[in-house]
Chain A
């Protein structure tokens, strides 16, 4: 009884402090300055519809394409890391160490500029299958390479998390190792790693904001760059706020969706 009272007391003190910080912050903030610098409705309105038709669209394109590339490369690296052949393991280890250690911005810059300078005749811009293909290509490869390094470790952990009995049972039924891996182990591994992969996806959404270093045209700008350009044009910070809200509009539904998938998965097991 006494303990519960004490708990209640500490909790209400904490709530009180929390409320005090928020109310204090709100009261002490210079709202006039804030709204002048960051909350101008007219500027926010002017950002539409291009913020959705160009900027958000490009953010999503870059995210999906680099996530797909990262997933394929990452799976390959995970399998190499689990391989019994030593050079494969070495390669995977070196790759993961390098690209997990380098800042993503640097990797993107190197992919975008160092590769064409190193290989005479190769230019990203020569890709013309779709408009902006060169920028999308360089961006996708740059971010995909980084994502693969992180995802490889996640996928490896997932594969190792599938009970050994699964593989043994499959082998005893006469399946080859490869076939058993592809049809029995990997699918189960992916079910295990949906939460960490979502994390990776959300990190990627935010990392697309680094792609401005590759140079952007009107049609290939992603959200952050679009917001920065708008802020520069108008000498006002409102676009940062609007862009931030759009990012949350993308990431929050996604995390909700994945949480739902996860719950279903758990129920199915």
Chain B
């Protein structure tokens, strides 16, 4: 509340100053300010509507790396399905695109958005009812299908062979929820990130990895010691998350942009780049 009233006050003060400046500008060399003001006036209405943390920029929180959804390039830029799609959305909205790396915790607890780190989170986040209570999601943009990854030569051919095995999953993911609901195993072990999951598989701490299909496929492509043996459709989708209050307009705009990108083929183009066979 305090910040809001302060902002209102600041806005009022700025307006007053601007009016005063306009009134008395005849004597001043007003050409540079006069030149810059129209452009400022042009961008500010849309930015104000979206309540962006940085005017003119769509600031996106993401936990990087999570190939092939979010990856950090050597030159400090970002790529990956989420990143490219979000950049295209920002482009569609006429905004600059900026990534803020955050922990998945900060994103999924909503604190990254609440703290004003970013406008929207794009981090392969599955839309769930529980999460929907505390943040708002965009329309789904990716099917969160799951898959089972095992070492080559393992006696596991499908989820039915897991009864006396230990399955590794990533904390807070659809894979974890899916495994807990649908898989009978000795134990389901949750790991913080992909790196530990795969090291644990190598250390024999777990027998199989159940997680997002594209992530497992990417892993199997890089490492010929492991293979994907089964795929599970879950009917769930990933969504972009925004703070519950104050970002309604931004959310609508993101959904509209998403639709436009699907219509004009940009979505398919990005999809093929990362998941095309």
Contacts and interface: CB of A to CB of B under 8 A. Distances in A.
Partners in one complex: yes
B107 to A, nearest CB: 9
A37 B114 contact: yes
Contacts of A134: 205
A248 interface: no
B204 A125 contact: yes
Interface string B96-137: 000000001100111100100000000000000011011100
Nearest to A31: B1
Contacts of B205: 112-113, 116, 123-125, 134, 214-215
Nearest to B132: A235
A1 interface: no
Interface in B61-90: none
Contacts of B197: 215
Contacts of B133: 234-235
A215 B168 contact: yes
A229 B109 CA distance: 9
A56 to B, nearest CB: 19
A236 B1 contact: no
Contacts of A232: 104-105, 108-109, 171-172
Interface in B129-186: 130-131, 133-135, 166, 168, 171-172, 180
Interface string A94-125: 00000000000000010011101100000111
B1 to A, nearest CB: 6
Contacts of A33: 114
B272 interface: no
Chain B interface residue number, banded: 35 or more
A57 interface: no
B168 A235 contact: no
Contact of B196 (A215, A228, A240): A215
Contacts of B190: 215-217, 229
Contacts of B110: 37, 235-237
A125 B109 CA distance: 31
Interface string A211-253: 0111111100000010011011111110110000000000000
B189 A215 contact: yes
B200 A240 contact: no
Contacts of A231: 105, 108-109
A137 B173 CA distance: 26
Contacts of A235: 108-110, 130-131, 133-135, 241
A234 B204 contact: no
Interface string B192-204: 1000110110111
A217 B108 CA distance: 20
Contacts of B191: 213, 215
Nearest to B204: A123
A37 B171 contact: no
A265 B109 CA distance: 46
B92 interface: no
Interface string A25-55: 0011111110011100000000000000000
Contacts of A218: 180, 188
B62 to A, nearest CB: 15
B39 interface: no
- Looking at B171, B197, B199, B205, the one whose CB has the most chain A CB atoms below 10 A away is B205
Contact of B171 (A109, A113, A229): A229
A117 B202 contact: yes
Contacts of B114: 33, 36-37, 237
A262 to B, nearest CB: 38
Contacts of A29: 2
A215 B206 contact: yes
Interface of A: 27-33, 36-38, 109, 112-114, 116-117, 123-125, 134, 212-218, 225, 228-229, 231-237, 239-240
10 contacts: A109-B196, A116-B203, A225-B171, A228-B109, A232-B104, A232-B108, A235-B108, A235-B131, A235-B241, A236-B109
Given A215-B205, A232-B171, 20 more contacts: A27-B2, A37-B110, A38-B111, A113-B196, A113-B199, A116-B204, A212-B192, A213-B196, A215-B189, A217-B187, A217-B189, A229-B171, A231-B105, A231-B108, A232-B109, A233-B131, A234-B133, A235-B130, A235-B134, A236-B109
